[in-house]
Amino acid sequence: MELYFLGTGAGMPTTERNVTSIALRMFDERGTFWLFDAGEATQHQILRSPLKPSKLEKIFITHLHGDHIFGLPGLLSSRSHQGGTEPLDIYGPQGVRTFIETALQLSQSHINYELRFHELHEGVIYEDEQCTVESGLLDHRIESYGFRMIEKPRPGKLKVDELMKLGVQPGPMFGKIKQGIDLRLDDGRVIRASDMISEPQPGVIVTILGDTRPCQGSLRLAKDADVLVHEATFMEGLEDLAETYYHSTTKQAAETARDAGVGLLVLTHFSARYSEENPLVEEAKVIFDNTVAAKQHQLVPIRKY
């Protein structure tokens, strides 16, 4: 599981950065990817990436500002021509369905797969055997949400060394142990499967926030997250501007990461006034050391940090 950033800019695209879109790649776990926001030209960014629109399973929209949704109609239309036939779930605030359906209708765009819309609310919005997704309100000029993806515990690992010491060689017998089946050896000894598998491994927690000022909603969604993706539109010293436009500074993002006890802070949504991300990261590191900047077309591994 890993994050792939398709756009890291705020407000409007620049020559250095496209506007917001983040892919959560789950090729090993599900063979698919999820998309968080789809600013203008997201489909162009996907063409320059290892992502395939046919593998897009879900889209989560944080809020309805243009730099987060203007890429939706084109992406959805193109997906039909790029092998996408499976249903696509779209989670977003009230109005996202109207925006998409109006754009597709007026442009006479036809898609050959089902769109399934889910209006956001606070709490659990999706759950299956692999993960749970929660959403929560943030503090922005319009209704804006953050998302918390909680991976369920993964099965424990086979204690290979112990099994081999007992004379059990890799092969079908290993497979039975993995299935939870006890073994009876030729000499009468019984090996209990439960003794040969380690405890389940805790899943990872990933929090991706929409545009926001510092708020309790951010802290709740980010609590103990392994990876937190947080906007850092402005550098320190522009707190008044951030307050006026309902955004966060590098310092405020770092304070949220510190107070929530996260593992890794990934800064994104940078103002066009900054051509380099390093000064923003260095500011944040004063408060929260394990901070990196999101870079377009670069992966951020998701693990226990």
The proportion of the chain whose per-residue pLDDT surpasses 90, expressed as a percent, equals: 79
Assigned CATH for 2-154+200-301: 3.60.15.10
Phi-psi region of 226 (alpha: psi -120 to 50; beta: other; left: phi over 0): alpha
In tens, the pLDDT along 87-118 reads 999 999 999 999 999 999 999 998 999 999 99
In tens, the pLDDT along 144-193 reads 999 999 999 987 888 888 888 888 888 888 888 888 889 888 888 888 88
pLDDT of residue 167: 84
Establish whether 67 is a catalytic residue.
yes
- Helix, strand, or coil here: 77? helix
Per DSSP (E only), the strands in the chain are 2-7, 21-26, 32-36, 56-60, 88-92, 115-119, 123-127, 131-137, 145-151, 183-184, 190-191, 205-209, 227-231, 264-268, 291-293, 299-301
pLDDT of residue 80: 85
Check 67, 128, 187, 224 and give the catalytic one. Answer: 67
pLDDT of residue 157: 85
Domain locations along the chain: 2-154+200-301, 160-195
Q: If we measure between CA atoms, which residue out of 274, 276, 234, 275 comes closest to residue 254?
A: 234
pLDDT of residue 273: 95
Q: What does the DSSP 8-state code read for residue 27?
A: T
Feature table: binding site for Zn(2+):
63, 65, 67-68, 140, 211, 269
Q: Which residues of the chain fall short of a pLDDT of 50? A: none
Q: How many angstroms separate the CA atoms of 27 and 258, rounded?
A: 30
Mean pLDDT value across the chain? 94
